[in-house]
Structure formats: C-alpha cells, structure tokens
C-alpha cells in the first residue's frame, strides 16, 4: 500500500497546471483488478492516441509504478466485488508526503455510479467520474478535463484533494474565478457519456436489461419479451453493419433460449453478457480490435455455459 515515508518522486511537472491536451505526451496509469477490463481500457486509450500506458492489477503494483515512473493521470477502474478497494487507494494517495504524487488527477471508472458513490468519491479525492460501459468520446472528455481545466487542489486541515465545489471543468475559467473574472467564454459542455446512453441500440439494451430482471424471476412472459427485444437490437446491429455486436446478441439469445426453459438462468452470466453487449454498443466500429475481443470473449463464455 501507499506509505508516506516511501513515496517521494523526483518529478517537477505540476499536475494541476492547465496545459494543452496532447494525448501522445500523456503518461496514464490504469489500475483495475479485472484483466479483461484493464486491457480494454488500454485498447481504448491507444485508439485515442495515448501511447504511454502503465497497467496495474492491485494497489501495491499501482503504488510501485507511481514511484518508479512518471505518471500524469490515474484511471482507477472499480466495481462491487473487486479486491481493489478504490476509495481507500484514493484516500491513501491524497495523504502521501510527495506533493506531486498526491496532486495527480484521478478518474474513477465504474458501472455502479450512484449519487452516494459520487459524494464518497469526492470526499476521498476523486477528480472526475466515468460510467461503464466506456464511451471513448466520454473517456477522452474526462482526460481533457483533468489536463486542460484541472480542478484546483485543496490542502487544508479538513480536506486534501481536488476542489469539490466546481461541478464541471467547463464552468471554470481560471484562478480568478472567485473574483468573477473570466479568462475566456466557453460553450456549454456536452456530456458524451450521457449522449452515448441515448442512442437507439443503448436504449434497446437498457430495456433488455430491465426485462432480464423478470427473466431471472422465472416469469413466463419475460422470455418472449426478451427475444423480441433481442430481435430489435439485432436489426439495429444489421443496419449499422455491426458484425461484432450482432454476434454477441446471437450468443446471448442462444443462452437465454436454452437456459430459461430449463430453469438454469444464472444471474452472473446474465450480468456479464449484458455488460459485454453494452460495451460493444459503446465502442465505435473503428475500435475493431477491442470490439472483436469483447465479442469473442462473450461467445466463448456462453458456449462454455451451454456445454456444461
């Protein structure tokens, strides 16, 4: 874990100083206990032209990398059940003695983002939040936030971390904000994470997820509804020439078509499959390698379950 006496890095760059967003110059640490998720985030970063990527599967490895390598931004991916205690890591990071390391911008990525988690994360010292499935445009937006308009760092007796008052970097206009002086007018920021959730395929998958709650409850009408929703989603995939998503939907259709009548629906399989489908829907077609990895992994997992 992070210890005050050990963590001293000889790097002079101020991570809270606004600068131009140049992806190829950034050093990003991805901390995620899940191997597949960690690799997927790395693949998305590479497609965003971020080439200096460090990966850690535990708090101990992340701590070592922060000490040994120059890091500009930390992406901390965490979900319920992960061995990696994200908020404990953030709190420990903000308390270390090395001034640059404790001021590093940190983005928390999670599928279980709630109002309480945002409050707890802000109190721990998280800069920005990103929900799963990960939209590449939304991830780029969060990177731009912490590079171009980083939150001021507060260092006082009751709190150590990025300013919690500012809702959004687009509302910040520099160090004279409190005096009412704006450096330059900015257009209202568009949240790409919210936009991604409004696409037809994401809405179709959201409805499918709701239906699958009833599927697990063994309601007979739920299977017919789920099959109809899967057909709608597959039609959208065909229209978009999205072969990876169509393959993923077909795999999931096969699973619920066999497992539901037998009463062998498993909640973990359902959640994993839906999460994979949602991630496929969030990734642009240009992210071919990442999308193929998700579709292939889903297909293999479902084939294994059906053969059991």
**Cβ count within 10 A of residue 254:** 15
- Say what the pLDDT of residue 218 is: 75
Say if residue 191's pLDDT is above 80: no
pTM beyond 0.75: yes
DSSP code for 198: T
Average pLDDT over the chain reads 86
The fraction of the chain above a pLDDT of 70, given in percent, is 86
- Say what the pLDDT of residue 173 is: 38
Say if residue 193's pLDDT is above 80: no
* pLDDT confidence tier of residue 36, bands split at 50, 70 and 90: confident
Which residues are CB-neighbours of 156 under 8 A, at least 6 positions away? Answer: none
Contact predicate 106/90, CB 8 Å:
yes
- Say what the pLDDT of residue 35 is: 86
Say if residue 104's pLDDT is above 70: yes
- Say what the pLDDT of residue 13 is: 72
Which residues are CB-neighbours of 252 under 8 A, at least 6 positions away? Answer: 230, 273, 274, 277, 298, 302
Say if residue 197's pLDDT is above 80: no
Average pLDDT over residues 130-141: 93
Q: Which domains does the chain have, with CATH numbers?
A: 23-188 (3.40.50.2300), 199-307 (no CATH)
Tokens read off for 120 = 């707890």
Average pLDDT over residues 151-172: 75
C-alpha separations of 187 from 24, 170, 294 in Å: 26, 8, 36
Say if residue 55's pLDDT is above 90: yes
More confident residue, 144 or 80: 144
Say if residue 86's pLDDT is above 50: yes
- Say what the pLDDT of residue 38 is: 92
* pLDDT confidence tier of residue 73, bands split at 50, 70 and 90: very high
The string of pLDDT tens digits covering residues 242-278 is: 999 999 999 999 999 999 998 889 988 998 899 999 9
* pLDDT confidence tier of residue 83, bands split at 50, 70 and 90: confident
- Say what the pLDDT of residue 206 is: 93
List 294's β-bridge partners, or say none: none
- Range with the lowest mean pLDDT among 154-168, 185-199, 203-217? 185-199
C-alpha separations of 264 from 215, 222, 308 in Å: 11, 15, 11
Average pLDDT over residues 279-285: 94
Average pLDDT over residues 116-122: 92
The fraction of the chain above a pLDDT of 90, given in percent, is 66
- Say what the pLDDT of residue 237 is: 97
């Amino acid at each position: 874990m992070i210890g005050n006496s050990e963590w001293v890095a000889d790097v002079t760059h101020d991570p809270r100083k606004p600068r131009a967003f140049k992806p190829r110059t950034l050093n990003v640490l991805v901390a995620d206990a899940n191997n597949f998720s960690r690799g997927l985030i790395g693949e998305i970063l590479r497609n965003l032209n971020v080439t200096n990527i460090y990966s850690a599967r535990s708090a101990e490895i992340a701590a070592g990398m922060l000490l040994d390598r120059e890091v500009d931004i930390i992406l901390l991916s965490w979900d319920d059940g992960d061995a990696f205690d994200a908020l404990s890591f953030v709190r420990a990071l903000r308390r270390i003695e090395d001034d640059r390391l404790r001021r590093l911008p940190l983005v928390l990525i999670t599928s279980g983002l709630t109002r309480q988690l945002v409050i707890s994360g802000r109190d721990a010292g998280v800069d920005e939040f990103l929900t799963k499935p990960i939209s590449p445009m939304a991830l780029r937006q969060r990177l731009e936030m912490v590079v171009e308009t980083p939150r001021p760092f507060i260092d006082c007796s009751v709190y150590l971390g990025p300013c919690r008052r500012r809702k959004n970097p687009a509302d910040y206009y520099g160090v004279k904000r409190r005096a009412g002086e704006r450096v330059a007018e900015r257009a209202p920021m568009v949240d790409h994470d919210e936009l991604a959730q409004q696409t037809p395929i994401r809405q179709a998958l959201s409805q499918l997820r709701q239906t699958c709650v009833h599927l697990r409850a063994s309601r007979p009408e739920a299977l017919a509804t789920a099959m109809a929703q899967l057909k709608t989603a597959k039609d959208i995939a065909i229209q978009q020439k999205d072969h990876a998503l169509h393959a993923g939907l077909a795999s999931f259709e096969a699973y619920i078509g066999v497992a539901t009548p037998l009463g062998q629906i498993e909640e973990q399989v359902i959640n994993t499959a839906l999460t994979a489908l949602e991630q496929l829907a969030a990734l642009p077609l240009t992210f071919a390698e990442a999308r193929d990895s998700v579709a292939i992994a889903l297909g293999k997992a479902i084939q294994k379950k059906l053969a059991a």
